[in-house]
Structure 1
């Protein structure tokens, strides 16, 4: 006769335990769960892993928010977070985050529960064709075998198979192999009973040294998972995949060269510019806007025929997206363009760009005159956005009208309304190396890119596809991951009002979870003013422009903040903004900055 424990066991829960234990044993530390019926076994195992202190568990009722929260965790840590959801439209809501992860090279693991094969295509509730849904983005995907046996001691063949799947999936997500890091999709079909007792061997397997580490498993989408119903992966063809790592491309000095650092280029771009003596055009989201070679006001300088017009060679790192001037430069047929391969589609705007795995400076003499021209122009183009310093002599003057004039000047500074330039400058100055700063895909990131000086701080942005969706959720993931173990720092995200409203659901955080130190700063100009600077503004009538592009709104942000339990501030001056950004404390703050159109 079966014992109570045996009667309570279920193949679905044992399979979920094997899969999640395999991932945790190999270093996964963050699980993001969206509740659902078909995924309950995975969710309950995740809860046990959290109780044991092995993982950080984040619950989000909106799957799109869950996906972008995991994306933020992956961006910050370089390790994938696991997203668990139920079947049906829940799975489709993960697609935006998966596409961004694909194009930006961010590791991400999607575990989607599903009906078993016999319930697909027959009108069963909440059932669609989930296998292959992420085919255009996934580094590896598999429709796993339906678990059909209970494992009493953690040694069953099925448990070993799911452990191998975990190793293969993690290796693929981390880009261990020919492909870059990115999203992985494991579709997990389950039959009833959908949950049983969590097996006693869960914690032992989750803390054991795995037989196969992720680095021991090649991320080969053709590798077989025993009994898998479907396997595939690789992203959009092979255009974004280097077949094998090649030797660093030798970069001889001599040609008039600049380095362009796009999104996520990282410190390697600054190092290359320093070694070669090249001017560095670094986007604000590149992670390379620092060092003595960085160029200020690069857009105007690229338009200058005496500087931009004389460029002979460009070396590109990262994914440039923020300026037309860089796009035009990379599209010129009279400029040699060398692009270091990234995780997404290769940069090749002129049709003749040479893609390489890496570059190294070799022979030749540094063109100091060329660098000097750029640095002199850069200094002239630099913008000082600092508020005027107080007139100390005037304030201390014994002459009444001099003292009054100094006081009035100081009052004017204090009362001066914020504009976009002052807003981005305030955030930049408030951010230190232990902080994190994220830019949404709004007009403000372009203002920041045009005006801000060099500074070595951690900057994030979803520029893989540059969508406005998921900005707050991504920033929340970054905050949660960067603040574990009581690490210091604040995560700030700057975005426009439409990007804020688009991701409003990300403000909902469940009680009882760790509360991130997160400042969401909304530049509220009442609609999509980014379109005012695009071609549509010159061809559309005012009514049509407002109706379908600017999309004005009158949403009040304070009631929204209070409804979601956020501290709210409305600031209209630079002094007030500086005080809010740097005030001691923590928690979740929504800071609204009204801006003119």
Structure 2
């Protein structure tokens, strides 16, 4: 005999099961009384193998963990919170998800209608709390009792968990507009939960994915393809088919191939390169340079933007065309070959000039090039000289370019690499060569917050059993302030998975990214340091011990390389950097 369930528990189980039917796999929960039916239902469904539960005591961290899970899995992720300020703590992650078009489904527990607006404990205006940063909001009446006629477009669970789940999933996944966060504000009244009886069967019922309209593009003289954040491999494919230079940011997902131009900043600033561009095709969301927006704002440059799901990237509001997807007209490529004189020369000039610039960049290694046969010679003097030269390499202090170079060299396709919004991501964008690896950063709003938590989500999703990345490592490159801003996300509750992670902290003891601002040259240095550089004396070894992470201090290139290639679980690698 099936044990009867109270209405709150029955509704929670049914709703979560409907999401599982649609393909949702992950649910992130923070503890709370009002949300207990949802939390306990999620735990029961995990035991049944229906969902994977992630528990985080801090809702702010929980939101970013969900963001990372959704980024890696490319599926909506559920986030469960109790009422009151708990909901507001999701706001930073919601903003990033909105501007990056990442699908989140927020299940925010709330007081029932009779406890709203009367000063009841832990009750506030939760419906629409996130303003315009959600794709869909629904206020759902408490599942017990008759559905009162409420405001805010309120719905009753009696209208069907299936319809509610499908509507929220479709909005989050971007089936009718851009993907992003949605909010189901779920009221519960006493009793807030009861025994969980027999669970419903999971019946896969996925929604059909929308089909993007593809626009054909033909070759044209002096074209460049710009790949901003999350552009994806389509940008490289289009650049290759057009024979155009590919100006790809480090988090674009398109930083590879024969057309890649790493030193695009320097070349865009030159009249003989950037000054000759007549057409720019933009994928993703460029955020790492001033030169790209300046190009797109310039008169005489035709701009085609491939929509990325977030806000359209349109500096100067000069884009001539917005398209959902882009492909190169193969017939036009053949027909236009003689009509686009110098196309190969145009590409070759960009690639060659970029390589020449890269060769001048100091990555912390000596400029001397060693004879690969020197270590195998019988000449003892030559062998000793070779050994000394190698030792010199390993003893070199770590520079910013050297740090990102070491991490880049240690990362492979089965790994994941995450950058914080710190100075180091710009160093990487300027220096690291092409390589087809998975790189992420929270560039929707380019905020400093949530980097560690986002990386935890990415690591868990990428290292699930059975995937090609199950044996990989998630490396996180961040400055000391970015690490301190999200230090609470180092905490993992007992019973939660512990993915393989390396937090590589370039510690220059403050926000040296602000030293690059024009005001740094004119402001009072003492005042500047206090309010912008914000120095600190935090002991990262102590933090690592407190949160159960391994700790390594790497003061030179040899120690850094050794730490990056060591096997292990969760390690903080601190590398001191000069201001």
TM-score, with length taken from structure 1? 0.89
CA contact (8 A) 1:493 1:521 kept: yes
Count of residue pairs brought into register by the alignment = 553
Match of 1:316 in 2: 282
Say which of 108, 111, 117 aligns to 1:112: 108
Flag the 1:395–1:273 CA change in 2: closer, same or farther, 3 A.
closer
Report the CA distance between 1:10 and its aligned residue: 2.0
Q: Which moved more, 1:535-544 or 1:81-90?
A: 535-544
2:55/2:493 contact within 8 Å kept: yes
SS in 2 for 1:184: strand
TM alignment of 1:455-470, pairs within 5 A: 455-470=435-450
- Contact 1:296–1:381, Cα closer than 8 Å, also in 2: no
Is 1:185 aligned with 2:183?
A: yes
Structure 1 segment 334-483 matched on structure 2, within 5 A: 334-354=300-320, 355-362=322-329, 363=332, 364-365=336-337, 366=340, 367-383=343-359, 385=363, 404-483=384-463
Aligned to 1:230: none
C-alpha displacement at 1:160, in angstroms? 6.4
Q: Hey, what does 1:224 align to over in structure 2?
A: none
Q: Residue 494 of structure 1 corresponds to which residue in structure 2? A: 477
Aligned-pair distance for 1:251? 2.5
Q: Provide the C-alpha distance between the structure 2 equivalents of 1:335 and 1:390, rounded to a whole number of angstroms.
A: 45
* Structure 2 residue ranges without an equivalent (≥5): 147-155
Query: What pairs up with 1:47-446 in 2 under 5 angstroms?
Result: 47-148=43-144, 158=157, 161-177=160-176, 179-200=177-198, 202-204=199-201, 207-210=202-205, 213-215=206-208, 247-354=213-320, 355-362=322-329, 363=332, 364-365=336-337, 366=340, 367-383=343-359, 385=363, 404-446=384-426
Answer whether contact 2:296 2:303 (CA < 8 A) is retained: yes
Q: 2:513 aligns with which of 515, 527, 530?
A: 530
Q: 1:81 deviation in Å?
A: 1.4
Give a deviation string over 1:357-381, Cα, whole Å, max 9, x none: 2233332225222112212212222
Matches of 2:98 and 2:130, distance apart in 1: 10
Matched-pair contact (CA < 8 Å) for 1:171–1:215: no
- Comparing 131-140 with 349-358, greater Cα deviation is found at 349-358
Aligned twin of 1:557:
540
Secondary structure of the structure 1 residue equivalent to 2:185: strand
Matched with 1:518 is 501
Q: TM-score, with normalisation over the residues of structure 2?
A: 0.91
Q: Note the alpha carbon deviations across 1:72-108, whole angstroms, 9 max, x for none.
A: 0000010011110000110001111111111111111
Are the structure 2 counterparts of residues 246 and 82 from structure 1 closer, same or farther at C-alpha, using a change threshold of 3 Å? closer
SS of match in other structure, 1:215: coil
SS at match of 1:316: strand
Deviation at 1:142, TM superposition (A): 0.2
Match of 2:26 among 19, 30, 45: 30
Report if the CA contact (8 A) 2:68-2:453 is conserved: yes
- Please report how far the alpha carbon of residue 164 of structure 1 lies from its aligned counterpart in structure 2 after TM superposition: 1.3
**Aligned with 1:484: secondary structure?**
coil
Structure 1 gap ranges (5+): 151-156, 219-244
CA distance in 2, matches of 1:167, 1:379: 50
CA distance in 2, matches of 1:518, 1:396: 37
* Mapped partners of 1:44, 1:552: distance in 2: 44
- How far has the Cα of 1:503 moved from its partner? 0.3
Residues 297 and 318 of structure 2 are in contact (CA less than 8 Å); yes or no, is this contact kept in structure 1? no
Distance 1:491 1:298 in 2: 27
Q: Is the 8 A contact 1:63 1:90 kept in 2?
A: yes
Q: Secondary structure at the match of 1:376?
A: helix
